[in-house]
Structure formats: C-alpha cells, structure tokens
Amino acid sequence: MGGFFGGQKPVEMVEENNEKLTEAFPSSKRVEGCSEKSLKYYRATIEAMLRTIQKRVQEINTDDLRDYLTKYQNEKNASRVTIDNIRRILSSYFSWLEDEDYILKSPVRRIHKVKSATTVKETYTDEALEKMRDNCENLRDLALIDILASTGMRVGELVLLNREDINFNERECIVFGKYWLGMANEKMWVDRKLADIVEFNPRETMVKGKIAKKVSMDKLRPFCRDIAEFDLEVYSGGTKFRNGDTIIARITSCLENGKTAKVDIFHWANAQ
C-alpha cells in the first residue's frame, strides 16, 4: 500500500486520495442494498468530515475524529442523536477502509456510542384516526390513511406501491420494503374495522306502554342457540334487539354457562 512519508502533503494529493476512496465506499454499500437516499447522506457526511480535518484518510486518528465531533456539536448545536448518527456513518466508512486494507485499524473503534434519551413516540388514538378519516376530502386520501393504519407500512413503501401490486379481491398487497432491491418483498393484508362489517347496538324505536316480548336471562338455555321461552309484558324501557342479532350475557358466570342466543322472536329484552 503506497503512501507519503514526512512533511506536509500537498492539498491536491490529499483531496485526490480522499475523493477516490469516498467514491468507492458508496459503490460497495450500494451492492449491499442501501438506498440512494442513504448513500447520498453517507457521502455528504464523510465529505464534510474530510473537508474539516484536511488529512488523508490513512492519517486520520481517533483524536481528529473526536475533535471533529465535538466542534460539530458546538457549532451546529446538534443533538446527541445527530452526533451518534455521524459516528455510525464514520464507523462504517473506516471499517470498510480497514476491511479493504486501505488502513490498518479503524480510528472510530475507540469512540463509543453516544448516549441519548430514548424518545417514546406517542401513538394516535382511535378518535384521532377517525378525525383524520373524517377530514379526508376525497377517496384517495381516505385510502392512504386506511392502508397506512391497517398495514403499518412506511410512507416510502407506500410511494413505491403500484396498482398491480394490490390484490383487491384478497385484500392483500406486495410491499417493497426498506431493502427494496428484490431482497425484502413482503406480503401485507389490509385490515377492515369490525364496525365496517358488524353493526353494534343498532337503534330501535319502541313506544313505551305497549305489550312486547321480553326475554330474561333465566329464559336462555345453556349452550342453546334458539330462544325457547319469553314473556309478554308492557314495555317501559330496556335494551332493544332486532331479529338476527346475537345476544351475549354480560354477567361472567352466565357467559361461562353458555348463555348466548340468536334473536328471532322478540323486539326488546331485559339486559342482565
């Protein structure tokens, strides 16, 4: 491995040496499947470091990098997370130089991970999701909100999604993940909200004072689908049901004893 010995190196030689290696590094990461956006960020970070230190990469030591990170944090008022991201990129770069025998040992090895507070991202509630859906001005926006919420895919993955990737009959789609160069194709299913296919507590109108059929819990037979008995009483209030509904006991002991039934004979019932 060739090099310079003694004295200050000409700036042109330093820049030529560094530029050659900086161009080779993204090429190797591209083969590993890194996106062009990530490669652009890697290169910009490495070039900024080299412009500041003004040394050949073969001569950069741990103290040079520590000084660079410290000055960058002070001058840019950068967060610890940002500094650690730079450290990770430089670690990857110098580890690659070491693996390729351009340097003997990576100077980043002795620079440890920058400790930072873990931020717990606040998740949206069901009410917030409904607000987002209600404020959609067209079906396209509503579809985007629903597919992001039900599949958990990234925005970048949604952007890469084409119509031919979606099976509308099976409600599934093929998603090209983060490493989308043919290495992380993933099948996802679009969920449906239960409220979209099941109507809970449907509204029924009944006039108080009229005679109606009433089914109390003692009229339900354990593990029997049909309602065998009911009473005729004057309706004064209570939970109302329609034919075709499924009623489930609210009391745990009754539920465990199989107190469920399909409604097909009455208009209202005493909910217990």
Dihedral Cα 215, 221, 224, 226, nearest 10 deg:
-30
Is 205 a domain residue? no
Compute the C-alpha angle 52/20/46, nearest 5°.
35
Q: What pLDDT was estimated at residue 193?
A: 63
Q: Is residue 233 part of a domain?
A: yes
Does residue 248 lie within any of the structural domains?
Answer: yes
Q: Amino acid identity, residue 123?
A: T
Overall number of domains in the chain: 3
Q: Which of 99, 115, 150 is the last residue of a domain?
A: 99
Average pLDDT, the chain: 80
The rounded distance, in Å, linking the Cα atoms of 176 and 26 is 22
154 found inside a domain: yes
pTM above 0.75, yes or no: no
85 in any annotated domain: yes
Q: What is the dihedral of CA 54, 55, 60, 62, to 10 degrees?
A: -30
Question: Do 90 and 141 sit in the same domain of this protein?
Answer: no
Residue 242 structural domain: 211-262
pLDDT, residue 69, reads 95
Contact (Cβ atoms closer than 8 angstroms) between residue 229 and residue 265:
no
Could you report the per-residue pLDDT of 103-160, keeping only the tens digit for each?
999 999 999 988 877 777 788 888 888 889 889 889 889 888 888 888 888 888 888 8
In-domain check, residue 223: yes
pLDDT band at 180 (very low <50, low <70, confident <90, very high): very low
Same domain, 181 and 228: no
Q: Do 88 and 21 belong to one domain?
A: yes
Same domain? 69 vs 17: yes
The domain boundary residue, chosen from 163, 191, 219: 191
**Token couple for 7:** 């004295």
pLDDT of residue 6 exceeding 60: no
183 and 236 co-located in one domain: no
Do residue 225 and residue 180 come from a single domain?
no
Q: Is residue 110 part of a domain?
A: no
User: Which residues lie across from 186 on neighbouring strands?
Assistant: 175
Same domain, residue pair 35 and 85: yes
Higher-confidence position of 45 and 266: 45
- Check whether residue 22 and residue 94 sit in a common domain: yes
Band the pLDDT of 254: cuts 50, 70, 90. low
Residue 183 belongs to a domain: yes
Residues 167 and 217 in one domain: no
CATH no. for residue 77? 1.10.150
Together in a domain, 139 and 217: no
What tokens appear for 130 in the block?
């409904």
